[in-house]
Chains A and B, each alone.
Chain A
Amino acid sequence: TQLLEQSPQFLSIQEGENLTVYCNSSSVFSSLQWYRQEPGEGPVLLVTVVTGGEVKKLKRLTFQFGDARKDSSLHITAAQPGDTGLYLCAGRTGSSNTGKLIFGQGTTLQVKP
């Protein structure tokens, strides 16, 4: 059973379009992180959210943590071809910062010029 459900799993859009990726769970997370991964490379951290209802912006990317800390969303405005990649949400259920990080299945985004 997947602890973190990401949707959609695949997304192909045109340059300039907006999109939202969702990460949902029935579990409460002490923190949730979003990573971006390119083929053959390790995931790279984009953002960490720790407070319920928190919203963080990173240029054209907006991240939101649900009030109950069970879900999160990533919204990209005016997508660019350089945004193409695998987006992974990952969460910790325990209070320790050394606990294992559980990943969602990932969302593969393709932005066509």
Chain B
Amino acid sequence: AAGVIQSPRHLIKEKRETATLKCYPIPRHDTVYWYQQGPGQDPQFLISFYEKMQSDKGSIPDRFSAQQFSDYHSELNMSSLELGDSALYFCASSTLAGVAGELFFGEGSRLTVL
């Protein structure tokens, strides 16, 4: 079965550079979530989209932005990168039709800021 696809899997950037992460949700899933997970920490909710509209916002820095496109894929844009942005970034998708909106996670994109 198709899963959530994230790219790139690994990314190394310098401070103050820009990075873009991509997420392709499970087909027919209408909601996409972005989470940031630092070493040894639980996933922190950043932002979510339902039917291409932002549905909820968490602890996403102003330097970050995200959007969901007409084909339901989503991109997380991160600018003026800081050392503290180094983390695993997970995308998850779900469907409103699910029992309780269970999230299906991608394998994550590991961002390292040097």
Evaluate contact between A98 and B48: CB separation under 8 angstroms. Answer: yes
The yes or no answer to A78 lying at the interface (CB within 8 A) is no
Q: How far is the CA of A24 from the CA of B103 in the complex (A)?
A: 20
Proximity bits, A70-113, B CB within 8 Å = 1, else 0 = 00000000000000000010101000111111111110000000
Whole-angstrom distance between the Cβ of A91 and the nearest chain B Cβ: 10
Count residues of B near A (Cβ-Cβ below 8 Å). 32
- Residues of A within 8 Å of B, CB-based: how many? 26
Q: How many A-B residue pairs have CB under 8 A?
A: 77
Q: Does B74 contact A (CB under 8 A)?
A: no
Instruction: Tell me the interface secondary structure of chain A in the complex.
Output: loop
Q: Does B92 contact A (CB under 8 A)?
A: yes
Is B96 a contact partner of A97 (Cβ separation < 8 A)?
yes
Cβ of B92 and Cβ of A104 under 8 Å apart? no
Per-residue contact bits, chain B 71-107, to A (CB 8 Å; 1 contact, 0 not) = 0000000000000000010101011101111111111
15 contacts between A and B (CB under 8 A): A31-B100, A33-B100, A33-B103, A42-B4, A44-B105, A88-B43, A97-B95, A97-B100, A98-B50, A98-B56, A98-B94, A99-B55, A99-B101, A100-B33, A104-B42
Taking Cβ atoms with an 8 Å cutoff, the residues of B that contact A are 4, 30-31, 33, 41-45, 48, 50, 55-56, 58, 88, 90, 92, 94-96, 98-108, 110
